[in-house]
Structure 1
Amino acid sequence: MHRSAPRLARILACATVPVMLVAGCSSGSDDKKDAESSSRPSSPSASPSVAAAKFSKLPDVCSSLSGKTIDELVPKAKPKKGKALQSGDTNTSATCLWNGLDGFKYRSLSVSLKLFPSDAGLGTGDKRAQTYATQQAEKATSTDGVKNAKTEQTAIGDAATTVRSEEKKDGEEFRNQTVVARTANVAVIVEYDGAGYETEKAPDATKLMDDAKSAAKEVVDSVAKGTDGGGKGSQGSGTSKPAEKPAESKGSKDS
C-alpha cells in the first residue's frame, strides 16, 4: 500500500519512543482527540476533609464537679477529691469515681469523659462522639442485672439521654441513674447510684435523677470552659484549652 512520506516518517518515529508515550502516536482521528484532550485543564483530585473538632483537650475529670456538689451528692465521700482511673491519655479519655456511706445511706457517683478528634476516614468529632454516646446509653439499659430500664431525652449539652434502672446487689435494692450527654466532640457519662442499708429506705429515683442531671450540666460546663470545679478559675474561651490568666493588677483579689 502506498503511504505518504510524512505519514511514514511519523510511524517510524513512534516505534522508537517508550511504551507510555505510544498512545500519543496513534493515527487518523485519534490524533485530533489527543490534541483536544491535552488542551483541557486537568482537574485536581478531590482531597477528603472534615470540619475541625471544637475541643482538643479534656479538663481534669476529678475537678469537673465542685466540692459542694460532691458533698451534696456523695456525703462522706472518701476521698472527697475522687479516685481517677488509669488512662493511657487523659487528654482524650478519663474517669473519676466517688462513693460514700453516710450512716446506712450509700451513694456512688462516676464521671467519664471521652474526646473524639475529627478524622477524614471516620467523620467529624461531633458525629463520632454522638455515636459513642448513643452506644453508652443503650449499654446502660442492657447491663447484666438491671431491670425496669427507662430512657428519656433531655436538654443537656448538644444532646443527652437519661437512663433510670433498678438493680439488686447483695440483697439490697439499688437505684441507678445514668446521664449520657454530648457537647461538641466530647461525650459525658454521669452514673449516679444509691441504696439504703439496714433500716434506711431505698432512695427516691426521681431525686437521684434530678441530682444526676445537675451533675451532668456542671460537667458539660466544665468541658466548655476548660476549667475545673464547674467553671471556677480562669474564664473559658469556648475551646478545650485553658484560658490564660490575665495580668494581676494591684489591689486585685483572688477569685
Structure 2
Amino acid sequence: MRSLPLTLAARLLPVALIVTVGVAMPATGGSDAPAEPTGASPPPSTAATATAGASAPPRYPKPPSKACATLPASTVKELVPGAKTAGNELKTSDVSRRTGCSWHALDGFDYRWLDISYDVTGAAAKQDENGSAISDLGDTATLSQQLTTNDDQEIREAVVTVHQDNAKITVTYNGGDFSSHQGASAGAIRKGALTAAEKAVAALDG
C-alpha cells in the first residue's frame, strides 16, 4: 500500500505591544493662573494594575506533556479506524514549547490520518489569516480544506488552527478510499477535524 506522509507545520506569530504615552504642553497666555495639563498621568492604582498585568505569567506555561493522551480513545477509534490509540508522539527538541501526536491507519481500503500539535509562547498569538473563521472554539479559530491528487489517488484534508491565550493548537485530518481512488467526503473530514480540535483545546486545561 502507498503511504502518504504529511508534514506538521506550526508557525508562531510574535506579538509586539507598543505603548506610546504623550503629554500635551499647556498653551501660553496672559493669565497668572497655572495651566492645567491636558494629558494627566494615570492614577497610581491604574499604573500598578497595568504593570501587574504585563508581568503576569502566561496561562499555559507549557503544552500537554502527553499529547497522545489528549484525545479520548473513543475519538481516535471513530476518526481513525484501525489505528493504535496510543498514537505516535511528535519528535521535538523542546517539549517545554511544542508537543504533538499523530494517528494513521488503512482500514480495508479506507485511509485516515489525524495529527495534533501544541505550541505555547509567552504572549497571546495572533489569528491566522488563512481559512474560514470558526466560532465557539478557543479565542479564535480557522478551518481550511483542500483536495489533492497523488498518483491518481485523491486525499481530502482539513486543517483547524485554534488560538487560546498563549497556546496554538493545529489539527490536521485527512483521508481517501484506496479502492475508488476518491478522497473522503468533505463533510466527514470537516466534522472529524472540528471534533478533534474541540477535544484538543479542552485538554489544555486538563
Tell me the TM-score normalized by structure 2. 0.69
Separation (CA, whole Å) in 1 of partners of 2:182 and 2:146: 17
Paired amino acid for 1:63:
A
8 Å CA contact 1:177–1:192 kept in 2: the answer is: yes
| Range with greater deviation from structure 2 (215-224 or 84-93) | 84-93
Q: For 2:202, what is the secondary structure of its paired residue? A: helix
Paired amino acid for 1:87:
T
Paired amino acid for 1:61:
A
Separation (CA, whole Å) in 1 of partners of 2:108 and 2:161: 30
Query: What is the CA-CA distance between 1:203 and the residue it aligns to?
Result: 1.5
Partner of 2:25: none
Q: For 1:154, what is the secondary structure of its paired residue? A: coil
Partner of 2:97: 92
Percent identity (aligned): 27
The 5 Å alignment of 1:147-186 reads 151-186=132-167
- CA offsets, 1:214-233, max 9 Å, x none? 110101000122xxxxxxxx
Separation (CA, whole Å) in 2 of partners of 1:91 and 1:107: 29
8 Å CA contact 1:113–1:189 kept in 2: the answer is: yes
Query: What is the CA-CA distance between 1:200 and the residue it aligns to?
Result: 6.5
- CA offsets, 1:14-54, max 9 Å, x none? xxxxxxxxxxxxxxxxxxxxxxxxxxxxxxxxx99454311
8 Å CA contact 1:151–1:164 kept in 2: the answer is: no
Partner of 1:70: 76
8 Å CA contact 2:82–2:105 kept in 1: the answer is: yes
Partner of 1:250: none
8 Å CA contact 1:64–1:219 kept in 2: the answer is: yes
| Range with greater deviation from structure 2 (211-220 or 85-94) | 85-94
8 Å CA contact 1:96–1:112 kept in 2: the answer is: yes
Paired amino acid for 1:196:
D
The 5 Å alignment of 1:98-109 reads 98-109=103-114
8 Å CA contact 2:102–2:114 kept in 1: the answer is: yes
The verdict on how the C-alpha distance between 1:172 and 1:201 changes in structure 2, with shifts beyond 3 A counting, is closer
Higher helix residue share = 1
Separation (CA, whole Å) in 1 of partners of 2:135 and 2:111: 26
8 Å CA contact 2:161–2:169 kept in 1: the answer is: yes
Separation (CA, whole Å) in 2 of partners of 1:169 and 1:155: 35
Separation (CA, whole Å) in 2 of partners of 1:152 and 1:171: 31
Query: What is the CA-CA distance between 1:212 and the residue it aligns to?
Result: 0.8
Separation (CA, whole Å) in 2 of partners of 1:161 and 1:50: 29
Query: What is the CA-CA distance between 1:202 and the residue it aligns to?
Result: 2.9
Q: For 1:56, what is the secondary structure of its paired residue? A: coil
8 Å CA contact 1:111–1:190 kept in 2: the answer is: yes
Separation (CA, whole Å) in 2 of partners of 1:201 and 1:167: 10
Tell me the TM-score normalized by structure 1. 0.56
The verdict on how the C-alpha distance between 1:61 and 1:72 changes in structure 2, with shifts beyond 3 A counting, is same
The verdict on how the C-alpha distance between 1:92 and 1:52 changes in structure 2, with shifts beyond 3 A counting, is same
Please report the RMSD computed on the Cα atoms of aligned residues, expressed in angstroms.
2.0
Partner of 1:29: none
Q: For 2:134, what is the secondary structure of its paired residue? A: strand
8 Å CA contact 2:154–2:181 kept in 1: the answer is: no
The aligned length equals 154
- CA offsets, 1:131-182, max 9 Å, x none? xx51xx63xxxxxxxxxxx634332111100011111122111111010001
Where in structure 2 are there 5+ consecutive unaligned residues? Answer: 1-50
Separation (CA, whole Å) in 1 of partners of 2:142 and 2:135: 6
